[in-house]
Amino acid sequence: MTRNRRGRPTGCRVCPKQTDVRYWPWTLKEALAGRLTSAHGRDLLLAGWGCEPHMMNWGGAFLFALSGDGAPRLLRYYAGLSSVRWRAFRVAGGPDFLLGRAEGGAQGTSTHSIVRLIFHRGGRYSLRTLFTTASIFCAEAAGGTPAPPIRSQILRWWVVGQVGAAPSGLLATVTWGQAPKSEEAAACSKWPMPRFPVKTYQLRFRFNGRSFQPTPATARLLRNKFSPSLSLWVNPQFTR
């Protein structure tokens, strides 16, 4: 185990046996406790980086069930579920659900996303992307056809509601802009991305007690500029 100057655990000196790579340490990025698998249970999620290849987002997470005396029991390890700054929210009569900001990218595409994660008994899960912003520069990432680059990112996002209670909605400030056609990218070799103006947009979602639903105006923006799902780039592909 590795510790910081104050003696707090920060990771492992060797890769845990559940992981795939053995040549670098596992670094703890986040520890989150809550009612993650049932309305009355106590669980602990430890997310970190290291001990996984690039295709698994460099890291993974361990989900533990906590007994009455606090002793942990490993439920499952998730290769690819690295830290995305999770925040837990309550649902009446059910387990907590998690919201997080995920980042990803490859081959000329960079993404920022807000994702929702729900665990079930035994460690099963449900994952949904609420929306994704994608900066696309390389023609390879755009499907191989030369196209003007796109710049887009999440500036800020926040959940509306009281602490410890179910939220009423979600708001996000995002940007989007497309370069003039004269800036078409034919290959991935013209770095850096050319400068061009972007506009700011507000995305609004209402929480109906079980899920977040976009307002009509936000739904139009999702269809035209911000994808509701770019799973190739942002969704962790849990393998165990």
Q: Are residues 166 and 220 in the same domain?
A: yes
What is the pLDDT averaged over residues 24-31?
A: 88
Q: Are residues 43 and 68 in the same domain?
A: yes
Q: Are residues 67 and 48 in the same domain?
A: yes
Domain boundary (81, 104, 136) is at 81
Domain boundary (81, 110, 136) is at 81
Q: Are residues 96 and 116 in the same domain?
A: yes
**Does a structural domain hold residue 208?**
yes
- State which of 54-58, 124-128, 205-209 shows the largest mean pLDDT: 205-209
As for how many domains the chain has, the answer is 2
Please tell me the predicted confidence (pLDDT) of residue 232.
Answer: 41
Residue 37 clears pLDDT 50, i.e. is over it = yes
Q: Are residues 113 and 33 in the same domain?
A: no
pLDDT band at 124 (very low <50, low <70, confident <90, very high): confident
Please tell me the predicted confidence (pLDDT) of residue 62.
Answer: 93
CA atoms of 79 and 238, how far apart (whole Å): 5
Q: Are residues 49 and 158 in the same domain?
A: no
In Å, how far are 45, 69, 113, 125 from 72, measured between CA atoms? 11, 9, 31, 19
**Does a structural domain hold residue 76?**
yes
**Does a structural domain hold residue 226?**
yes
Residue whose structure tokens are 């799902």: 229
Tally Cβ neighbours within 10 Å of residue 41: 14
Please tell me the predicted confidence (pLDDT) of residue 64.
Answer: 95
Q: Are residues 157 and 207 in the same domain?
A: yes
**Does a structural domain hold residue 72?**
yes
**Does a structural domain hold residue 240?**
no
Q: Are residues 156 and 96 in the same domain?
A: yes
**Does a structural domain hold residue 239?**
no
**Does a structural domain hold residue 237?**
no
Please tell me the predicted confidence (pLDDT) of residue 76.
Answer: 92
Q: Are residues 52 and 93 in the same domain?
A: no
Q: Are residues 34 and 59 in the same domain?
A: yes
Q: Are residues 157 and 48 in the same domain?
A: no
- Domain of 146 in residue numbering reads as 84-231
pLDDT band at 143 (very low <50, low <70, confident <90, very high): low
Domain boundary (56, 81, 106) is at 81
Of the candidates 84, 86, 105, the one whose C-alpha atom is nearest the C-alpha of residue 97 is 86
Enter the pTM of the model.
0.82
Read off the pLDDT of residues 94-111 as tens digits, 9 standing for 90 and up. 888 898 888 777 777 888
Q: Are residues 70 and 120 in the same domain?
A: no
CA neighbours closer than 13 Å in the CB half-sphere of residue 63: 24
**Does a structural domain hold residue 205?**
yes
